Amino acid sequence: MDSNTIIAAVSIFTAGITIALGSMAPALGEGRALAQALSAIAQQPDEASTITRTLFVGLAMVESTAIYCFVISMILIFANPFWNHFLQANGG
């Protein structure tokens, strides 16, 4: 295997691990936040609008972590900064 093949394989593997781990943790966090919000609404129904608004802001912040991981995995697959370095080093 040449260095280009190794870089491609490592990039694809790293992108897969990034998106796998980067989507599991936010999903667990969102589930827990939703469960806590439903519990809070059940205990204080009059504050449902405030709890819901705060929940949506929190969910957006948690989801941004998964989106960042997705962006990093797309960069590793389609715009890998190591490609140009190894192509120039190999004379390609």
Which pLDDT value is given to residue 24? 92
Q: Which domain holds residue 25?
A: 3-84
Burial class (CB in 10 A: 0-12, 13-18, 19+), 58: middle
Which pLDDT value is given to residue 91? 67
For residue 57, tell me if it sits in a domain.
yes
Radius of gyration of the chain (CA): 21
For residue 92, tell me if it sits in a domain.
no
- Tens digits of per-residue pLDDT, 24-75? 989 999 999 999 999 999 999 999 999 999 999 999 998 998 899 999 999 8
Q: Please report, for the domain that includes residue 56, its CATH number.
A: 1.20.20.10
For residue 90, tell me if it sits in a domain.
no
Burial class (CB in 10 A: 0-12, 13-18, 19+), 44: exposed
Q: What token pair was written down for 70?
A: 């997705």
Which pLDDT value is given to residue 88? 76
Q: In the chain, how many domains are there? A: 1
The number of residues making up the chain comes to 92
Give the separation between CA 82 and CA 70, rounded to whole angstroms: 19
Q: What token pair was written down for 83?
A: 């490609």
For residue 33, tell me if it sits in a domain.
yes
Give the separation between CA 83 and CA 92, rounded to whole angstroms: 10
pLDDT band at 84 (very low <50, low <70, confident <90, very high): confident
Judge whether residue 92 has pLDDT over 70. no
For residue 23, tell me if it sits in a domain.
yes
Predicted TM-score (pTM) of this structure = 0.71
Which pLDDT value is given to residue 81? 76
